[in-house]
Structure 1
Amino acid sequence: MSEIKEKVVSIIVDKLGVDAADVTPEKSFTNDLGADSLDTVELIMEFEKEFNVSIPDDQTEKISTVGDAIKYIEENYKA
């Protein structure tokens, strides 16, 4: 598992209180992991903080699954 994926999963587990085994790339934050709109905003903010990336509003709407978040961060993260 990549370091980015591990951190994304860790953030989701922490924020949503779900089991890490349930956090797979195809899982939807809202439909599968029980996040509401506020949870989703908080996840995006935490991703931005943890990875020092800016996720514009037009992109946040496209990040609806764990895999979407990982892909966006991998493409935009600068260590």
Structure 2
Amino acid sequence: MDRDAILEKVVSVAQDTLDIADGVELTEGTNLKDLGADSFDLLEFVTALEDEFSLTLDDEAVGTIATIGEVVDAVESAQ
């Protein structure tokens, strides 16, 4: 799966799990904390990503993720 397809899926999962307001555009530079996500929200997000992509994200890497682009990087690394 190419980066654009991964980004599209990550954005979709983020919108569903992080309760993003309509009209908010998510890009690779979007900071997850700026979206109002707390640690529980991020855990839900990661779990949903693992289900969506049928993979397991490295716990250490997940702890350092701050942006949508870094989520895409982590998914690419885990594939």
Q: TM-score, normalised by structure 2?
A: 0.83
- Superposition misfits of 4+ residues, deviation over 2 angstroms: 19-22
Aligned residues: 76
Aligned positions of 1:30-49 closer than 5 A: 30=33, 32-49=34-51
Structure 2 unmatched runs, 5+: none
Larger RCO, structure (CA 8 Å, separation 6 or more): 2
Greater shift, 54-63 or 35-44, is seen at: 54-63
CA RMSD of aligned residues (A): 1.7
Structure 1 unmatched runs, 5+: none
CA distances 1:9-38 after superposition (whole Å, capped 9, x unpaired): 0000111222464211111111x1110110
Q: TM-score, normalised by structure 1?
A: 0.83
User: How many percent of aligned residue pairs carry the same amino acid?
Assistant: 34
